Chains A and B, each alone.
Chain A
Amino acid sequence: MYACLYSAGINHDHRGARSDRSENLLNAAGTASAAVHRGSLAVVAQQFSPRYESRGDLVVIDVRGLERLFGAPRAIGDELRRDAADRGLRVHVAIAGTQTAAIVLALARPGVTVAVPGGETAAIAPMSIDLLAKIDHDDAAVAAIAAFKRWGLKSFGEIAALPPDELSARLGQQGLRWHAIARGADVRPLVPDVEDERFESALELEWPIEGLEPLSFVLTRLLEPLSLGLEQRDRGVAVLHVELRLVTKNTHARRLELPAPMRDAKTLRTLALLDLEAHPPEAAIDRVAIVIDPTPGRVWQHTLFARPHPTPEQLSTLVARLGAAMGQDRIGAPVTVDSYRPGAFEMKPFATEHCHDRRGARSARSESSREISASAACAAVNRDVALRRCRQPVPARVAADANGRPIKVTTDRRGFAGGAVIRATGPWKTSGEWWTSGWDRDEWDVALSDGGAYRVFLDHATSRWFIDAILD
């Protein structure tokens, strides 16, 4: 058995011949007032049952079992109306065996209305089909009402009398849905509102702690129950706040934005510790607090046809650990840039979620190859040779013939012995970014007698030779 409360005082329609500014002010005031009304309706519902659902300007309450407290359904309705009146609300109350019938009756009739069990269809039969627009707030409902009116139908009872198969043939699945509503049948179960839960926990320490190892145990103790709560609510962590009150009375606060919603306590602890390792507190800690900004949990569908990827939790932890070990700027995914500058590249954070689909991979690859830079296009001509870049070009001594062609390359650097040039191709003249510290060079690919092949260049700005890369 369900009860429905409808507050007729909530009105969104503030049309009138007013100036834009006053209309905006009135709309803002009306919206705020409507929100307060909805909140008050929810408070009324909470007094009677934990199972209630707010649907815009009405609330549906599961009142099964309340007979033992209040008596007959009408007494329940009277009690609901009285409680609402005490809070300054004028509400329509309807009680019926189905949610739909209760909603229709509450929308249509003031006061307290009770439908006898099994008589829901008959109770709502005389109601106008215009109410469908209040039950379904979409354009399809408006179009359907217009269609029903064209067919000469005016009441729920007339729709309920239509053969459902014929209605389905003309209006599709939505037609069957409206037919069920017209009969007072429920088209979906009650989805009870759940109060937003705050996910936070704190621990006062008897003795201040120093160092991360003892803090690890404290974080585990705080995070495990929070993780359990998140799992029960199907929530994940979007942002993890770690607040450490120090013995100096200062607060050391860290904020970790996670790349993907996660709730594994061990992962969260590891990420928090790695962050604190990089940003340690300046004094001993005497209070630890964790606050979590929740976000809807991640739905992850694994595939049977592809190898599993590392989970976002694993990748987040890995990236954090690598960042701590190597430095944040040393890890990521490489990105080509649209520049003729030799060896130009950028790095971006490594994504923690990747599609398994090979077609996705292919399309991503083709997308990235469309963005390939001009010099990469040159490199693509010979795919069997790759370069090993010397990020800092190695100074070299190059002897050249009368045409400027290198005939001998040597360096002082260990491992780059050099030798006579066996074969050379070039020069490729390249220059750019003259407006900054640009480059202007002649590049040669040379095979030396030491067995190596190198890309060397003559820098016109300094008239010096360098080894830029190894052909490998």
Chain B
Amino acid sequence: MASLARADLESLLHTKNLARTLTRFEPGARPDLEYASTGHAGLDARLSGGIPRGQVSELVGRRSSGRTALMLRMLAAATARGELVALVDALDMLDVESAAAAGVDLDRLLWIRGFVVPNPGLCRDMNHRALVQAVRAFTLVLEAGNFGLVVFDAGEAPADAIRRLPFTTWLRLQRMVEGSSTACLLVGSDRMTRSPHGLSLQAPALRAAV
């Protein structure tokens, strides 16, 4: 009965030309998509080649879960391929030395620093306006096109600030990336959005690293 209702719903979405919003898990690489290697052979094998280009993917993890290390590794892999990459650092928390140590070619990294919120807060007190500006910068980079990997890092942004963004923001991002050769990655503490054929990566805890 449930499957029938789902089939009806999918049929209705197809009729209304809204089928692109449907997400269905299909194991294995899609032949119509290109993939950007993450720089981690084991992860690439699990992801059928990496993160898909022309799709919005997300990397989600708690604090100290290793999401930043994985993000830097992806940036390093992209610059090693000769691609230009951009990082919209919404809270201005990139550690340049960590990036260099991870192998990121810094000359090929366009770093856009969001506004650090002055006293009293640093991360959780980030105001809504700064996040909106960061999203605007992100859309400008996507509009320019031809970047290999574009990352929006809101890793320490509070969940309520993310939720305050209009839902259409994410739809617009998906539309902008669709059909391009850019791999788009959102990094956050909680899930934000992803394209129908994008990936959601959950970073595990990394407490043992200390």
Contacts and interface: CB of A to CB of B under 8 A. Distances in A.
Interface of A: 306-311, 314-315, 317-318, 321-322, 325-326, 330-336, 343, 345, 347, 350-351, 354-358, 360-362, 364-365, 368-369, 372-373, 375-377, 379-380, 382-392, 394, 413-416, 422-425, 445-447, 451-453, 469-472
Nearest to B140: A321
A466 to B, nearest CB: 11
B96 interface: yes
Given A325-B136, A325-B137, A372 B97 contact: yes
Nearest to A330: B113
B125 interface: yes
A469 B95 contact: yes
Contacts of A392: 116, 118, 122
Given A321-B140, A451-B207, A471-B64, A386 B98 contact: yes
Given A350-B110, A383-B101, A415 B84 contact: no
Identify which of B81, B109, B121, B210 gathers the most chain A CB atoms within 10 Å of its CB: B210
A471 B72 CA distance: 13
Contacts, number: 223
Contacts of A394: 122
Contact of A309 (B96, B120, B146): B146
B123 interface: yes
A325 B140 contact: yes
6 contacts: A311-B146, A335-B96, A357-B82, A379-B98, A472-B63, A472-B64
B206 A415 contact: no
A380 B109 CA distance: 19
Given A332-B111, A365-B79, A414-B121, 13 more contacts: A306-B82, A310-B145, A311-B146, A361-B80, A386-B101, A387-B95, A413-B124, A445-B210, A447-B64, A451-B64, A452-B62, A453-B207, A470-B64
Interface of B: 62-69, 71-72, 79-84, 92-103, 105-116, 118, 120-125, 133, 136-137, 140-141, 143-148, 155-156, 158, 181, 205-207, 209-210
B112 A314 contact: no
A361 B82 contact: yes
B132 to A, nearest CB: 10
Contacts of B103: 365, 369
Identify which of B67, B94, B114 gathers the most chain A CB atoms within 10 Å of its CB: B94
A142 B95 CA distance: 61
Nearest to B125: A414
Contacts of A358: 80-82
B97 A379 contact: yes
A252 to B, nearest CB: 27
Contacts of B112: 322, 326, 330-331
Identify which of B80, B107, B116 gathers the most chain A CB atoms within 10 Å of its CB: B107
A375 B95 CA distance: 12
Contacts of B124: 413-415
A391 B124 CA distance: 14
Identify which of B100, B143, B145, B206 gathers the most chain A CB atoms within 10 Å of its CB: B100
A360 B67 CA distance: 29
A376 B101 contact: yes
Nearest to A454: B64
Nearest to A324: B140
A472 B69 CA distance: 6
Contacts of B82: 306-307, 355-358, 360-361
